[in-house]
Amino acid sequence: LCGDMYMLGSRVCVCVCNMQHECLCCVLPNIQAYFHLSDGTAALLQTVFICSFLLLAPVFGYLGDRYNRKYIMIAGLIMWTLTSFCCSFITESYFWALMLLRALVGIGEASYTTIAPTLIADLFTGARRSIMICAFYILIPVGSGLGFIIGAGVASQTGDWHWAFRVRINPIFGLVGIALLFFFCPNPPRGAAETQGEGPAAELLPGGLVTIVTGVLGGSIGTLLSRSFRDRLPHVDPLICAVGLLASVPCLIASIFTASTSIATVFAFLGQALVAMNWAVMADILLYIVIPNRRSTAEALQVMFIHLLGDCGSPYIVGAISDAIYSSNPETSAWSFHSLQYSITICPAVGFIGGLFYLVAAFYINDDRKAVLQFLEVEPSVDQSIQKT
């Protein structure tokens, strides 16, 4: 029961976190106009959040491997809830304060996202762990889609981007998630599952719905393929991730260059679904190739490098490229759209490189997994010496 209640609380929290991410994205043009920002400067709101997130993720990973994970997560979620709500009260003269609050939001979120998957690993094992990991990560696109829909809708109805952060269900859901974690979240010994057995707006609406549906669909397909073929093909997990990323590249490129037509939604749907295939599978890979008492650190490092090589610098880079392209022909109103369109093509290119790395990983994944299993056989109680409650 505790494991199931923890899963409920963790799903609520991860959904709310991603609602907050995309709420900012859908009102970014309003914020940009309110503070009179260029594309590059506006993108810094995301960059500063990611920078604080990735810098603190290893710290929380270290703490999560040594101290009570439950209270670390709760403290971080309280900080996240308060700072994200305070963002809605920033006035025109205090853009620096909005930047500071975004950094604090990143710190709060780092404490949760680096530790939560490791608790799932210690509560469940085998096929059920894969399902629970999928259920956890599948809420990422659901939260993102809801953030688009709710944030854009509230901003459109009120005419003020501030209300997109005030009149939302995020604070309520955040408090619900914190309460569930506080009262029901266990703090199992690290490696318990392996050693003891398994424990108990109108224009943005289509985009939000596509994100929700493709995330659920892609995540489910990836997990289903992993469960179906892992026994026969021990290296199937990185292959699933590679195929998903490589196949998504032409779809995403097509969606970018057909953005002004209705068919772009079809290409975006296919591309996002293919990308989403690797989310839960990738998390599952990390949990079975890392020994239990180092999983929080490994999760933190993975999160750090995901964001360091991804959305830490990409918003600013894309925005800066867009500004540079736009400056070559600023008199044409349509050029603002095309400059951003051309600059964002860097994203599918990086996805292609990621797919190649997954193909390389397929050659080594089985040996890494066997090494962890051998370690657990030699030291089944490896975590007990450092477990602190």
> How confident is the model at residue 384, as a pLDDT?
46
- CATH number of the domain where residue 106 is located: 1.20.1250.20
211: its two tokens? 């994100």
pLDDT tens track for 251-293: 889 888 887 777 888 888 888 888 888 878 888 888 888 888 8
The larger pLDDT score, comparing residue 153 to residue 36, is at 36
Name residues whose C-beta falls within 8 Å of residue 179's C-beta, 6 or more positions apart in sequence.
9
**Residue whose entry in the numeric block shows the structure tokens 């032409």:** 250
Confidence band of 242 (pLDDT split at 50, 70, 90): very high
**Residues 126 and 214 placed together within one structural domain of the fold:** no
**Residues 217 and 340 placed together within one structural domain of the fold:** yes
**Residues 179 and 212 placed together within one structural domain of the fold:** no
The larger pLDDT score, comparing residue 284 to residue 386, is at 284
Domain carrying residue 121: 1-185
| The domain boundary residue, chosen from 130, 155, 185 | 185
Closest CA to 69 of 134, 133, 128, 117: 117
**Residues 268 and 165 placed together within one structural domain of the fold:** no
Q: How many helical (H) and strand (E) elements, i.e. helices and strands, does the chain have?
A: 19, 0
In a domain, 240, yes or no: yes
Confidence band of 107 (pLDDT split at 50, 70, 90): confident
pLDDT tens track for 305-332: 877 777 777 777 887 888 888 777 766 6
Confidence band of 233 (pLDDT split at 50, 70, 90): confident
Tell me the pLDDT of the chain averaged across its residues: 75
**Residues 268 and 334 placed together within one structural domain of the fold:** yes
In a domain, 65, yes or no: yes
Closest CA to 116 of 324, 303, 306: 303
CA 63, 68, 69, 71: dihedral to nearest 10 degrees? -110
Dihedral-angle region of residue 89 (phi above 0 means left; psi in -120 to 50 means alpha; beta otherwise): alpha
**Residues 325 and 362 placed together within one structural domain of the fold:** yes
In a domain, 196, yes or no: no
Q: Are 54 and 109 in contact (CB under 8 A)?
A: no
Q: In this model, does residue 343 exceed pLDDT 80? A: yes
**Residues 45 and 110 placed together within one structural domain of the fold:** yes
Q: Are 260 and 247 in contact (CB under 8 A)?
A: no
**Residues 169 and 280 placed together within one structural domain of the fold:** no
User: What is the number of domains present in the chain?
Assistant: 2
- CATH number of the domain where residue 275 is located: 1.20.1250
**Residues 100 and 19 placed together within one structural domain of the fold:** yes
In a domain, 57, yes or no: yes
**Residues 178 and 74 placed together within one structural domain of the fold:** yes
Confidence band of 205 (pLDDT split at 50, 70, 90): very low
**Residues 333 and 216 placed together within one structural domain of the fold:** yes
3-state SS assignment for residue 183:
helix
Closest CA to 73 of 384, 300, 292: 300
**Which pTM was predicted?**
0.55
Q: Are 146 and 17 in contact (CB under 8 A)?
A: no
How far is residue 138's CA from residue 367's CA, in Å, rounded to a whole number? 28
**Residues 104 and 26 placed together within one structural domain of the fold:** yes
| The domain boundary residue, chosen from 155, 185, 215 | 185
In a domain, 26, yes or no: yes
Confidence band of 165 (pLDDT split at 50, 70, 90): low
